[in-house]
Amino acid sequence: MKQILEIEKLDHQGRGISKINGKVIFIPNAYIGEIVEVEVIKDTKKYMEGKVIKYIKISSDRIKYNCPYYHECGGCNIAHINYKKQLEFKKNTVIDIFKRYANLDINPNICESEDNIHYRNKVVLHVENNKKGFYKDETNELVPIDNCLLLNKKLNDVIDSFTKRLDISEFKEILLRTNGEEVLAKFTSDNELLNTNIVLKDKEDKEGEDATKYIKENAIIFNLGKYKYAVTSDSFFQVNTKQTIRLYDKVREYVGKEKIETALDLYCGTGTIGIYISDLCNRVIGVEVNKSSVTCANYNKLLNKIDNIEFIEGDVSTVINNEMNPDLIVVDPPRSGLDNKTISIIKQIKPKKLIYVSCNPMTLARDIQNLSEEYNLNDIELFDMFPNTHHVESVCLLNLH
């Protein structure tokens, strides 16, 4: 079934929204005010999904995105919108979510990314039949790629190199991560003997003999401000390095000038935030469930010559307790947000300040609503960590009533 439709607005994923006989239809790669010919590809009781067959009227805010995989891959779902309008869309999305799910009226600033292409320091490539690429959105269908506009150019160089001189047929996944100079590659295969990590370096290890054998073989070093961080293939680390510095500077601003006695850094990963604010605190305790990340965090503590921070390996909800008595808690949870047990414990501990870093405004709004018995939202700032996608990072400051 084909229809000619006008796009009324965008949903939270950046898809165009129109209606057919009163039923909502979601249309990727369509923008507000455009008139498009659409083929319906999915029809349920509550909604439809469609794809654009022809553009009849094109928005002046539409741009040409020079990626040959754009209409197949699905990774860059709003790259057809000019960057100023992308930022406006993300801000409005968060405003709408907070109003709907937290009953809060907000007007946050959004910090734009210095780079809106070639910003990603990490990529995971899937491999099938000696071809590497990304899975098409919501499928297991491989889209072979040779070059991705979102990736740091160093990663694209390595991908090109692999294509020319390496048989990848035995692997099912390749993870690449770069600090701009070195590249960490992790190869995953059904044959465990082929699973390996390789650090490709342009120059000698700057840490020399002080680096542990584990870090030398399994990690690369990132510089954020005055701090250095060793990161492995299994560790969480933000994908947009330049924006991460701006985000962490905002966290420091929220910590404030008054010295913090004890701070908890929950879901601390490689210790990035805890270390970044360590000079503002007398004591920092980081909690992280991933063993590889904790190994890196302890190394990063030594690397930065910091003696007022400790790291605990374990699940946040089972580690934190009232006896820790922190003045400040910083959380940077996965997309699923905080679990009910962790929220309950935070309410019991009642630190004066809570700083919440989130990559998912839906779970962020939910958690802020659940914390509202004890905490007010004092401030929120958005960071465009993921240009050309619908995702956005948020940093919130919550204060005890």
Domain CATH code at residue 380:
3.40.50.150
Residue 347 has pLDDT above 90, yes or no: yes
Domain CATH code at residue 58:
2.40.50.140
- Beta carbons of 332 and 268 less than 8 angstroms apart: yes
Q: Based on the domain organization, do 295 and 324 belong to the same domain?
A: yes
| pLDDT computed for residue 215 by the predictor | 58
Q: Based on the domain organization, do 142 and 278 belong to the same domain?
A: no
Q: Based on the domain organization, do 197 and 145 belong to the same domain?
A: yes
Torsion of CA 240, 241, 246, 247, to 10 degrees: 60
Q: 99 lies in a domain?
A: yes
Q: Based on the domain organization, do 131 and 209 belong to the same domain?
A: yes
Q: 69 lies in a domain?
A: no
Q: 329 lies in a domain?
A: yes
Q: Based on the domain organization, do 181 and 54 belong to the same domain?
A: no
| pLDDT computed for residue 208 by the predictor | 39
Q: Based on the domain organization, do 365 and 249 belong to the same domain?
A: yes
Q: Based on the domain organization, do 164 and 274 belong to the same domain?
A: no
Closest to 161 measured CA to CA, from 176, 171, 141, 143: 176
Catalytic sites, residue numbers? 359, 393
Q: Based on the domain organization, do 161 and 142 belong to the same domain?
A: yes
Q: Based on the domain organization, do 217 and 265 belong to the same domain?
A: no
Edge-to-edge strand list for the sheet holding 260-266:
109-111, 375-383, 393-400, 353-358, 328-331, 260-266, 281-288, 309-313
Q: 77 lies in a domain?
A: no
Convert the pLDDT of each residue in 200-248 to its tens digit. Answer: 755 444 443 443 455 556 789 999 999 999 998 888 899 999 999 999 9
Owning domain of residue 178? 122-232
Last residue of a domain, one of 177, 212, 232: 232
Convert the pLDDT of each residue in 143-163 to its tens digit. Answer: 999 899 999 999 999 888 876
Q: Based on the domain organization, do 199 and 313 belong to the same domain?
A: no
Last residue of a domain, one of 200, 232, 264: 232
Convert the pLDDT of each residue in 298-335 to its tens digit. Answer: 999 999 999 999 999 999 999 999 889 999 999 999 99
Last residue of a domain, one of 232, 261, 281: 232
Average of per-residue pLDDT across 6-20? 97
Distances in Å between the alpha carbon of 380 and those of 51, 96, 105, 396? 35, 14, 11, 4
Convert the pLDDT of each residue in 279-303 to its tens digit. Answer: 999 999 999 999 989 999 999 999 9
| pLDDT computed for residue 368 by the predictor | 98
Domain total of the chain: 3
Q: 68 lies in a domain?
A: no
Distances in Å between the alpha carbon of 316 and those of 297, 321, 339, 343? 16, 10, 10, 11
Q: Based on the domain organization, do 226 and 365 belong to the same domain?
A: no
